[in-house]
Amino acid sequence: MNLSRLRPSLPGISVLAAAALAASLSITGCKDARHTSEDAAITQPASIPLPNSPNAQTTDARPIIDCFGDSLTAGFGTDPGQSYPDDLQKLLQASGYHYHVINSGISGNTTKDGLDRIQRVIARHPQIVVVEFGGNDGLRGLPIPQTQANLASIIRQLQASGARVVLAGITLPPDYGKDYIAHFDAMYPALANQFHIPYLPFILQGVYGVPGSMQADNTHATPQGNQQVALNIDHLIQPLLKH
């Protein structure tokens, strides 16, 4: 994909930012051997086993923040422990917050895939869920009303379970046409308004174009870049946190 041909599609986002967003989606459908199953995609401090796993610590009563999405959440192309949810865990602990951050990102997931596994997330009884889906739907040219309906169902079910939800939106390359992109971009703020949830239009803010923050594919964040993504998400969820 030629990034120089990308244009901004979201209000207040520069050409560079729009390029980053479109680039961030260009290979989300690819599978990384490090993130080919949900268990592999869930990363957290080594001392805290996965919820409901055979070795899970039942004494860990910390409320859960579940980062639920595709490759941008999974940490595509980075080693275990280097995704943004890992860094979010460190940020929260350093600030004196006692939360257990779980990475429920799987590379290549569409909103339908997210909807298919929503009950696994709900079963963890998360207090906060960061929802980051839709890019792979857009790249496949799927009907936007269906993508929006899937996201709405995800958000609705999470809220019904008692979870607080925040939403990370994305955009598409100009190749998909002005009308399609305009409707796609409008989907995220519409959902944020409908469900009264915090909204982050650009998950790679402060990452794209910063030396050392993007991988060689110029698409996914490096470990350094994921640290900034964690800061972006930390800022988004701050109003929902409790000491």
Q: Which of 42-56, 152-166, 175-189 has the highest mean pLDDT?
A: 152-166
pTM: 0.79
Mean pLDDT (the chain, rounded): 81
Domain count within the chain: 1
* pLDDT of res. 243: 85
What CATH code is carried by the domain that includes residue 70?
3.40.50.1110
Q: Is-catalytic flag, 116?
A: no
Which of 161-170, 182-191, 196-205 is the least confident region? 196-205
Residue 130's domain comprises 3-240
Catalytic residue among 9, 71, 83, 213: 71
What distance in Å separates the CA atoms of residue 192 and residue 97, rounded to the nearest whole number? 26
Q: Is-catalytic flag, 71?
A: yes
Residues with Cβ within 8 Å of 128's Cβ and at least 6 positions away in sequence, in order, are: 63, 64, 65, 66, 99, 163, 164, 165, 166, 237, 240, 241
Catalytic residue among 53, 98, 217, 235: 217
Average the pLDDT over 101-128 and give the result: 97
